[in-house]
Every structure is written in C-alpha cells, then in structure tokens.
Amino acid sequence: MDAISVIRTKRDRGELTPEQIDWVIDAYTRGEVADEQMSALAMAILLNGMNRTEIARWTAAMIASGERMNFDALSRPTTDKHSTGGVGDKITLPLAPLVAACGAAVPQLSGRGLGHTGGTLDKLESIPGWRAHLSNEEMLNVLDTTGAVICAAGDGLAPADKKLYALRDVTGTVEAIPLIASSIMSKKIAEGTGALVLDVKVGSGAFMKTIEDARELASTMVALGTDSGVRTVALLTDMSTPLGLTAGNALEVRESVEVLAGGGPQDVVDLTIALAREMLDAAGLKDADPEKALSDGSAMDVWRRMISAQGGDPDATLPTAREQHVVTAPASGVLTRLDAYDVGVAAWRLGAGRARKEDPVQAGAGVELHAKPGDTVTEGQPLMTLHTDTPEKFDYALKALPESYDIAPAGTSFSPLPVVRERIA
C-alpha cells in the first residue's frame, strides 16, 4: 500500500477497499502517512463522499487504532451526548450534571473548537485550575464519585481520530459528513457508553446547513451506533441563530452556571431539558424528572462536585476580556434574523477560536448578545458586545457582522423555528 494510490482512488471517485482503509488509518496513526497526504485524502472524501460500507470500515479502523473502555463496574447506567457543534452551544455544561443528578452516569468525552464553533474543553479551561486531561483511572474515579465527568479523550482512545480531528480544523475539511460521523462515533463506541444521544445542528452556524444534510449525518451515526450495540438516537436542532446570549469560552461558562441556578436563556434551558429526557430514557430512567433536578439545585450540586474533582474552583472569578466594543442597532423595529455563522466567525476572530491547531484561545474573548430574533429594538441600543484582550482584532471581527442581522419595521410578526426540529431513531 502507499498513500498516493489511496488518495487517487478517492480523488477519482472510487470506493476505498477495506484493506486500503485499514492501512491508511494505521499508517497515519504511526506517522508513515504525512499530514499533507491525509489532508489531500480528507479533501477528496469531502468532495466525493463515502458509501455506508466505507464509513463503517473507516469508523472500525479508527476504533481499532486504540483501546476500548468499559463501565460495567459502575452501579449506574451510562448515557452520553454529542453535539456536532454550533455557536453558543454550551449545552454539555449544564446537561452532564443534570443527567447525573437524575441517576445516570455521564462519561462525556469532549473536544476543542473546530472552525467557527466553540469547544467544550476550551470553555471549561477558563475555570481556574480545571483539568481536561485525566487518566482512565482518574476519569472512572470522577465518574463514580460525582456521576459525571467532562474530559478529553485519552491518548489511547481512537488516537487516529485525535490526529485527524486537529488536521480537519485547519484544512477546510470539517464539514465532510463521513469524517464527522466516523470521528464522533469512533470515540463514542470506543468510550463504552451504553446509550448515546446525538445533537445534530442544522442551520447557518452548523456544519450541516440544510435539513437534508443533517438527516443524512444523523441517520449515518444512528446506524453506526445501533450496529455497534449502543442505543442511539438523534435530535436535529436549530442553529440558524446562536444558542443563548453568549459565544465565547468564559462567557458561555457564566451563562451555563446561570442555567444550573434556575435561570438563563429559555432556548438553552429548553434544549438542555429535551436532551436530558432523551438521555435518561435511553438509559432506562424514564421516571426521572430533569426539570425538578434543575430547579431544586441538585444539578448545581453535581456541577460543583464535578468541577472540583477535576481541580477547578467552582467559586473562582471567571476571566474577562480587557477590551469591549459595542455594536448598536442602526434602526428601530423587530429583530428578525441574527446569523449564527457570522456571530461565530466574529467570536473566532476575536480570539475565542484558533486558526491553527497549536494556537491558544483567549478565555474571555467572544460575543455577548443583547437581543435575539423576535425582540423589539430601538435605534442606538446595544445589539451585541465584542470582547477581546487584543483590540486590534475588533476591525477584523466587525467585518463579519454587517450582514449578520435584519431589523423589520415595528409590528412585524415573527415566528422562530423550534429548537428541536426532528427526532431520528
């Protein structure tokens, strides 16, 4: 086998053989296939796709590149959630402790930001002292004592995906459905969870822009999970508008804590509850009441224990950016559109995301929203505040925003899309 022949096969719209897939994943993991060669193959896959047989074999090869975990020793049923990524998507933060407070164990292996979308680990690392990297023994200990853990996948878990995940972020191949599906499902199947709920975003701020693409991705992943013995269901959720009122690392942590305290934006609360119900149902805990666990403080108690168990201080002051810039409404009326992608790009340019896989992120950078579609605004009132430590980034971020919103005359009727658009099982 050689990398060039594998690249040419997919470049010419051929079907990769099982032997080619097994070899290229193994060789890339070992360093025999270079980053630039895997970049070319990833682009060919993005442009020409893979069939179900190829995707299943690619996923199996990713799993085979490392170890598999087992949670049979836990006294609780395990259930997990994965989001395909969006703008302001901080749902994992309140969701994991909420589901744990209802009796399940939540082994949440999360990732870093990809392109204009935020990463759960980047967000949580804005909490002083919090550690993303745990050994398998530490992960199991946190899970056993608190009921939930959010951490990075260990080096031994699907190491091929760890390399390819970072490469996709900087080579314009994030949106490839076969690579998204295999990346997510290889980690989740290797992780060993008993049930999995997929939050597949659809809209301008998601990698899946159309409901048809979102269905294809969701159906592919549900099939991969089900065939591997993992109870899997997917919700297609709206990402035409940012979730909540913040996009950025510490900004989103602050908003998540508000949700756990019984407040927070309604769309974030609604989606958190909807996903919690699916996770608990898949884990066999149909009688659990996530709304009660959110209102009585038990979910907040799990959050505090979970953060402390990973070295974080749940009472610490979160970082704030040194500089702010306010964007005001150019006219009075009804805000009828606020584009999630544009807001995500602005947050990324302010320092909340990374342009190269080795780049750091700014904990306090991002965008704070002061109005959402359906709200009445007045000329000159703040629409959003940009946050960054590096004010020279403001001009670049502002270039993403001139066409990001629409304001209609006062009295214009507005009907938002539902947060949950479809369910696929």
Residue 298 CA to residue 231 CA, distance in Å, equals 27
Closest among 311, 284, 287, 314 to 299, alpha carbons compared = 314
Closest among 179, 196, 201, 206 to 42, alpha carbons compared = 179
Give the CA angle between residues 47, 50, 53 to the nearest 5°: 175
CB 105 within 8 A of CB 76: yes
The label of the residue with tokens 């490392």 reads 66
CB 423 within 8 A of CB 214: no
The label of the residue with tokens 């006062």 reads 410
Beta-strand (E) ranges in 105-207?
A: 106-110, 148-152, 195-202
**Which H/E stretch holds residue 258?**
helix 249-260
Exposed (0-12), middle (13-18) or buried (19+): which is 109, by Cβ within 10 Å?
A: buried
Give the CA angle between residues 207, 257, 356 to the nearest 5°: 40
Give the list of residues 6+ apart from residue 405 with CB closer than 8 angstroms, or none.
Answer: 335, 337, 338, 339, 383
DSSP string, 370-415: S--TT-EE-TTSEEEEEEES-GGGHHHHHTTSTTSEEEEPTT----
CB 236 within 8 A of CB 200: yes
CB 249 within 8 A of CB 366: yes
Kindly list the catalytic residues. Answer: 82, 161, 168, 183, 187
